[in-house]
Chain A
């Protein structure tokens, strides 16, 4: 299999006349954790949402350029197909409040009308919850509502929901910014487990988090991809002045 899973060429995105992602070229390798960092409003979240075509759902949003998944243009596939291949976890945990924990995990099947035999569903639920280290905490309360869990547990439930669909890539949009430090470190540990099976792209404000969890880091500034390199190199020996200024805290 090719080692690059997502490839962007001259990729641009805008809201109306506001050009927020400018000419981004990036190659994302398979089964790695890529951190996308940068100050607020630098276009990192918009770029992330372009990967699974969530950006275009906002009125007035547009994009152009190439975005390839395994060499195929994402923008020539059906968005529903893209989103099944590329899962997403959001800033705030958003389990479906009307569904039980069990149903939340298989929501991608259940709500899409895909019928599965009960043992198969049980297997997916247990497997996915085990993957996100939540199985032992919730195995006796699978029929309770998802909103009954703590914030950190809810976020892991949302990750389990994405994992259950067996995507190739999972996008994380500041996944720990609404969580306390302990839940944050649980989620960060999870990333290392998930890496074996999925490619993770994590948007974060938090430089320490980028340094802790990622293999490679992309630094966005004012819509441009300023630097993209091995995380170690990036934090010890940045090539661009702006990266240097950002990681030493000279602006934020």
Chain B
């Protein structure tokens, strides 16, 4: 009787283990399927010509996505220039004055901001920037993306700095360092790897954002580097061309999808490498 009950319980345990393996594998399947599908459809498109040319008009075959790649880089760079300083400063404030009333509200608003749908942020940017400035512009797209980057940078900076031991700050203060030097010469450099990882993750997060760019950067079939004018970006190009009926444009969209995928993958790997390189052993 007892042996039988043990056997039954062991069987249940094995069954449960098997289930966890199966479900863990099930997680990997969609990712592999997406990768496989996009690589198969996009890999034949990608060559030098594809990277350095702009799309051809309907009817002509060939063409590339240089305008979208350059546009994405510019829009993200401008968004980073806006979001990184503000995000890091706010993160420093939160880690230094974690219990203040202002900190409570800052934390609450970053949490809410993180949950705001990207299309809503796009609308806000449209009403704040596009309408008053009377025209779509890459800059308004950058502002929308910067708003999306903020919560990630703020919270990762805060979490990183809060984990640093107080003894580090005391060591610096006891040497007669003023507060701003303690922060910028000691605390931030020691926590740099964590802050950097937050920045990289926020960039990876906004790289594929389409909705906020639809009515801000708008898209542009030509190469443009003027941030006051409409600009193409990878997700916009995919959105516009993948829904078109022309085979050439569909192919461009597949190629662009693959580039976008590589980009995000590359950012993730770069994050891992950089954070390891800059990691300070405490």
| Interface positions of A (Cβ within 8 A of B) | 52, 54, 57, 59, 80-84, 87-88, 90, 92, 94-98, 107-108, 111-113, 145, 147, 158, 161-162, 165
Confirm or deny: B181 has a beta carbon within 8 angstroms of a beta carbon on chain A: yes
Complex CA gap A9/B282 in Å reads 40
**Residue B273 interfacial (CB < 8 Å):** no
Inter-chain contacts of B281 with A (CB < 8 A): 97, 145, 147
Chain A residues near B274 (CB-CB < 8 A) = none
Q: In the complex, what residues of A have CB within 8 A of residue B282's CB?
A: 97, 147
Instruction: Let me know if A111 and B170 touch, CB within 8 A.
Output: no
Q: Which of B190-208 contact A (CB under 8 A)?
A: 190
Q: Which residues of B contact A (CB under 8 A)?
A: 99, 165, 167-168, 170-178, 181, 185-186, 189-190, 280-282
Within 8 Å CB of A162, what residues of B?
Answer: 174-175
CA distance A162 to B168 in the complex (A): 14
Chain B residue contacts of A108, Cβ below 8 A: 175-177
| Contact in complex: B175, A90 (CB < 8 Å) | no
How many Å from the CB of B194 to the closest CB on chain A? Answer: 13
Distance (whole angstroms) from the CB of B30 to the closest CB of chain A: 41
Other-chain residue from A54, A92, A96, A158 in contact with B173 (beta carbon distance below 8 A): A54
- B144 to chain A minimum Cβ distance, whole angstroms, is 35
- Please, how many angstroms separate the alpha-carbon atoms of A241 and B99 in the complex? 44
Contact of A90 among B167, B177, B186 (CB under 8 A): B167
Residue of A nearest to B184 (CB): A111
Residues of A near B190 (CB, < 8 A) are 96-98
A111-B181, A113-B181 given; A96·B186 CB < 8 A: yes
- Does B175 lie within 8 Å of A107, measured CB to CB? yes
21 pairs across A/B with beta carbons < 8 Å? A57-B170, A57-B173, A81-B176, A83-B173, A84-B176, A87-B174, A87-B175, A92-B167, A94-B170, A94-B171, A96-B190, A97-B281, A107-B172, A107-B175, A111-B172, A111-B175, A111-B185, A111-B186, A112-B177, A112-B181, A161-B171
